[in-house]
Amino acid sequence: MNGNLTLIEEVRKQCPLVHQITNVVTVNDCANITLSCGASPVMADAPEEVAEMARLASALVLNIGTLKVEQVDAMIQAGISANEKGIPVVLDPVGAGATTLRTRTTKKLLEEVRIAYLKGNAGEIATLTGERAEVRGVDSGHVGIDIRTLAINAAKKWDLTVIVTGEKDVITDGAMWAEVSNGHPLMGAITGTGCMCAPVVAAFAAVSKEPMTAAISAVTTYGIAAEKAATMAKGPGSFRQGLFDALYSLDGDTIKEYAKVEWGRV
Amino acid sequence: MNGNLTLIEEVRKQCPLVHQITNVVTVNDCANITLSCGASPVMADAPEEVAEMARLASALVLNIGTLKVEQVDAMIQAGISANEKGIPVVLDPVGAGATTLRTRTTKKLLEEVRIAYLKGNAGEIATLTGERAEVRGVDSGHVGIDIRTLAINAAKKWDLTVIVTGEKDVITDGAMWAEVSNGHPLMGAITGTGCMCAPVVAAFAAVSKEPMTAAISAVTTYGIAAEKAATMAKGPGSFRQGLFDALYSLDGDTIKEYAKVEWGRV
Amino acid sequence: MNGNLTLIEEVRKQCPLVHQITNVVTVNDCANITLSCGASPVMADAPEEVAEMARLASALVLNIGTLKVEQVDAMIQAGISANEKGIPVVLDPVGAGATTLRTRTTKKLLEEVRIAYLKGNAGEIATLTGERAEVRGVDSGHVGIDIRTLAINAAKKWDLTVIVTGEKDVITDGAMWAEVSNGHPLMGAITGTGCMCAPVVAAFAAVSKEPMTAAISAVTTYGIAAEKAATMAKGPGSFRQGLFDALYSLDGDTIKEYAKVEWGRV
């Protein structure tokens, strides 16, 4: 971890293509946040084209927010294609724990695709590691374990970088941990703030060889954009619009000034 | 009907989970309006999980706005699950009357699921009760019957609470009727204002045992939020954003002050 | 071409119904832009109802942005229905050239449906005419041919009106060409600005018997709305909202004042 928090500047330079197979609720938000951080989104989930599209991309996001059984095969195909090309895959197990289909599908994806980043709320991640967890629709409820420990367990279990979003976002690869305290409560007043984090991580991952650096930089940048948006917002509608504005114009100096990151060795 | 127009305060306290099987056009708006009134949305329509998801929820919305035949079975499964749990089901028959598929599906849902609230425009409801009606895409055209009578007929026919949206929103359970004159013409200049009414009704229905109270309070609150948003809007784009802002911060006193509700016995 | 740039006034008078079979990413934007220019959108893609819905409409848009194989048949059915009724069909071959599925589907649609307007970026159109072209996801890369020549070749090849969007939008029916320099770079910072152009063209086409007039007027109006929105924007979020506001209130005199159109004979 080299402490590089200004990776967004590299994203803007390279404009990586981020292939996303995602849900119908926040797909538009995910495309727009990808553009706002300087990358280029492409949404494609037909089994007949996902492998081809993933080969064109620099990162892949898999989000099961409105999962259909037919999509699972497309996600696996795209994932394998991404693995072959060597581009990072970000998995967002939306609602894992809420229904059997979502839990089972997430486990299948973790088995059949080499996932680089697993990003979810505490309830979702705890469900996957077998901890006691409450998941209420797509929201996290109480989990019976310290979040940092939870994240570390998950990172070790699947040998990947874990991002557990929440009041503090916890990031770990099993060897290092970081906690990011940026962000704003209004993020919970709109849909999609969880989903949008994944393409931001994917865009940053596409331009960095260090997963912890990419994840910390992405989560911090996104959280600071939310803080900036909140200062101008009159409520969730204007906050949502302001989030795209703020991320689009955020510069490296501001990120360094506002970043609230703690970290250490596991 | 106890005249309780400030049920939104109860929604905010309880934060009911509203499961929605809805269309791809306004699904994001529906999720965001649910959050703006203080409830929690979950969108899930895979046949493999809808029954399980509905059992987690406090209300269910079925909206046929971009109906696929495969969705009908999922809607029925979710509806039956909701009926078994005893949570209210809100049906929004978007475009019934425009195509045979939509009309037939709505009738099937009314037969196989115990619907608590039927919310539609005059053209849609008139189609279903067999009145002469014009439906133009998803917009209502001329109907050959007085709207209050139409609503009462529908309420009696299916023994449920009917909400006919329009310049005046007419609400009736067949025994009482109410007419709400809140709202704003800009609601017709964006997509989704009809659709969004259903999850608001569902959220209110989840925290009230009186269907007329829930429906009147929901429709009035939503209409006043639209009025507030319109005062700040420069057009449909800013109106839409303002609608979420306004609903999010609307308090009980403002609702009581601005409510324009007339009612009586059938 | 009668130089009528104020066709939006006619759209507002007639409020044509525009049936759209489109992608899940920008479907909400497409519905809203249709309303903002004074027309009425209806999104429907179930094979069981598309032919019936198209018969109710005054124009049809086919957009392959998140194509599923099952949709192809629905698009063809709707297209044939539109052809039978004599209403214009606008095809937006999003991502043609990026994957085999998209290229093949576009060609199939061009063969089986009489398309009136083909609207795409240079990479997409060049792929279809067999020129050397780069397509990166849904973005155009370098093409090895002058854009005006490309557009004219495409117009002649399929006997239709072509709109190649880009820094300058090139419009031609093979006999006349026009280049519109309205628009703003922020259009590239949000998703959907390409997609939204198609329903605007469709709405204008629905009220005009002259395809070149309809296309030029639509593209110019849309570009000027973007310019107006950009003057008020703080970034892509507020630009997007402002686009709907600006288009909604744009009047004929402003359009005539700001239009930057060059044209000539082929």
pLDDT tens sequence across C204-240: 999 999 999 999 999 999 999 999 999 999 999 999 9
Q: Which residue in A has a C-alpha nearest to residue B243's C-alpha?
A: A237
Decide if B164 contacts B146 (C-beta within 8 A). no
As for how many domains chain B has, the answer is 1
Confidence band for A128, pLDDT divided at 50, 70 and 90: very high
Q: What is the Cα–Cα distance from B33 to B225, expressed in whole angstroms? A: 11
pLDDT in the model for residue A3: 64
Instruction: Report how far residue C214's alpha carbon sits from residue C196's, in angstroms, rounded to the nearest whole number.
Output: 15
Query: What subunits make at least 3 CB pairs under 8 angstroms with A?
Result: B, C
Query: B66 and C43 in contact by Cβ < 8 A?
Result: yes
CA distance A101 to chain B (A): 6
Please tell me which residue, B31 or C1, carries the higher pLDDT value. Answer: B31
* Residues B152-198: tens digit of each pLDDT: 999 999 999 999 999 999 999 999 999 999 999 999 999 999 999 99
Q: Does C238 touch chain A (CB under 8 A)?
A: yes
| A2 inside domain | no
Cβ atoms of A69 and A45 within 8 Å: the answer is no
Bridge partners for C263 per DSSP = C178
> Which of A17, A48, A245 faces C136 most closely, judged by CB atoms?
A17
How far is the CA of A154 from the CAs of A53, A102, A111, in angstroms?
A: 29, 17, 14
Q: Could you tell me if A240 lies within 8 Å of chain B, comparing CB atoms?
A: yes
Rounded to an integer, the average pLDDT of A188-194 is 97
Question: B1 lies in a domain?
Answer: no
From CA A243, how far away is CA A235, in angstroms rounded?
A: 12
Does the annotation list A100 as a binding residue? no
Across all residues in chain C, what is the average pLDDT?
A: 96
**C-alpha closest to that of C227 among C177, C186, C174, C179:** C186
Q: Is residue A1 part of a domain?
A: no
DSSP B228: H
DSSP C98: T
Each residue of B4-18: pLDDT tens digit? 899 999 999 999 999
Q: Identify the band that residue B3 occupies on the pLDDT scale cut at 50, 70 and 90.
A: low
Is C205 an interface residue toward B (CB < 8 Å)? no
Provide the residue count of chain B: 266
Q: Verify whether the Cβ–Cβ distance C98 to A42 is below 8 Å.
A: yes
- Cβ–Cβ gap A40/C237 under 8 Å: no
DSSP state of C96: B
Provide the 8-state DSSP code for C105: H
Place of tokens 């086919």: C62
Residue B89: its H or E element: strand B89-92
**Adjacent-strand bridge partners of B119:** B163
Give the list of residues 6+ apart from residue A136 with CB closer than 8 angstroms, or none: A98, A123, B17, B40, B56
In the prediction, which pLDDT does B1 show?
Answer: 46
Question: Residue written as tokens 């989560």?
Answer: A219
Query: Of C39, C233, C45, C106, whose CA–CA distance to C30 is shortest?
Result: C39
User: What's the pLDDT band for B135 if we cut at 50, 70, 90?
Assistant: confident
Q: What is the pLDDT of residues B203-243, one digit of tens each?
A: 999 999 999 999 999 999 999 999 999 999 999 999 999 99
Q: For residue A120, tell me if it sits in a domain.
A: yes
**A130 carries a ligand binding annotation:** no
Chain C residues 54-113 with CB within 8 Å of chain A: 65-69, 95, 98-102
Which residue's entry shows tokens 């019957």? Answer: B145
**Is the pTM value of this prediction over 0.95?**
yes
Give the pLDDT confidence score for residue A1 in this predicted structure: 46
Residue A148 in tokens: 């940092």
Residue C1 has a pLDDT of 46
Q: Is residue C2 part of a domain?
A: no
Residue range C106-158, pLDDT digits in tens: 999 999 999 999 999 999 999 999 998 877 877 887 888 899 999 999 999 99
Mean pLDDT, residues A118-128: 96
Is A45 in Cβ contact with C66 (below 8 Å)?
A: yes
Which chains are adjacent to chain B, needing at least 3 Cβ pairs under 8 Å?
A, C
Contact criterion met (CB < 8 Å) for B48 and A101? yes
Residue type, A225: A
Domain that holds residue B29: 7-265
Q: Check CB contact of A117 with chain C, cutoff 8 Å.
A: no
**A119 annotated to bind ligand:** yes
Assess contact for A107 and A129: CB atoms under 8 A. Answer: no
Q: Which residue has the tokens 């409105």?
A: A66
CB pairs below 8 Å between B and C: how many? 101
Residue at A90 is within a domain: yes
Express each pLDDT in B51-101 by its tens digit.
Answer: 999 999 999 999 999 999 999 999 999 999 999 999 999 999 999 999 999
pLDDT confidence of residue C136: 82
Using the predicted structure, report yes or no on whether residue A260 has a pLDDT greater than 80.
Answer: yes
CATH number of the CATH domain containing B106: 3.40.1190.20
Asked whether residue B2 is assigned to any structural domain, the reply reads: no
Q: Where are the beta strands (DSSP E) in A35-156?
A: 40-43, 59-63, 89-92, 117-121, 133-136, 139-143
Is B43 within any annotated ligand binding site?
yes
